[in-house]
């Protein structure tokens, strides 16, 4: 099974920007932790980061037929991007939205996610550990899908 991790704008600045909100950990360190968990669970994982909305949409679309699920931190696009929302909905892959900070405890404009309604769930506010929680959730979702497929196949026989 393969998970596509998509990181939105300014996440390449983790460890530098607003450490009081996002902490000192760099994106590469978060990815290393995710890779370690992926190895433990026999998952393949691929990472992508862009500050450009269209590139994020392209990566979501390219995941169709290649990945089994998506973990996405759309960052600021969470609150503005109908295009990212539509791309997630179009590919119909299990998708988990992740945020390092608790977007519900921040400015009013950050409290509304356009992405959440097309995702299996949202994990927010646990710092970099939010990504680990998303990995655990994705493994569970994909295992449930696999079990349902096996049950359907055995019923058809």
Looking at residue 91, its pLDDT comes to 98
Question: Closest by alpha carbon to 35, among 119, 126, 131?
Answer: 131
pLDDT tens digits for 54-69?
A: 999 999 999 999 999 9
What domains can be seen in the chain, in order of their start residue? 2-156 (3.40.50.9100)
CA distances, 127 to each of 73, 90, 100, 118, 151 (Å): 12, 29, 4, 23, 37
pLDDT tens digits for 20-39?
A: 777 778 999 999 999 999 99
CA distances, 6 to each of 21, 30, 71, 156 (Å): 20, 13, 6, 37
Catalytic residue positions, numbered: 22, 99
Question: Closest by alpha carbon to 93, among 62, 125, 70, 127?
Answer: 70
Q: Which residues pair with 15 in a beta bridge?
A: none
pTM score > 0.85 for this model? Answer: yes
């Amino acid at each position: 099974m393969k998970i596509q991790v998509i990181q939105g704008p300014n996440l390449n600045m983790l460890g530098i920007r607003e450490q009081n909100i996002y902490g000192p950990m760099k994106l590469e360190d978060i990815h290393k932790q995710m890779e370690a968990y992926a190895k433990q669970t026999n998952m393949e994982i691929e990472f992508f980061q862009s500050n450009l909305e269209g590139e994020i949409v392209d990566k979501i679309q390219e995941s169709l037929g290649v990945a089994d699920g998506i973990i996405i931190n759309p960052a600021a696009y969470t609150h503005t991007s109908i295009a990212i929302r539509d791309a997630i909905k179009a590919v119909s892959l299990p998708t988990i939205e992740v945020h390092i900070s608790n977007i519900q405890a921040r400015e009013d404009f950050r409290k509304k996610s356009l992405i959440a309604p097309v995702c299996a769930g949202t994990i927010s506010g646990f710092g970099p550990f939010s990504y680990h929680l998303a990995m655990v959730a994705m493994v569970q979702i994909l295992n449930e899908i696999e079990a349902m497929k096996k049950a359907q196949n055995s019923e058809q026989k």
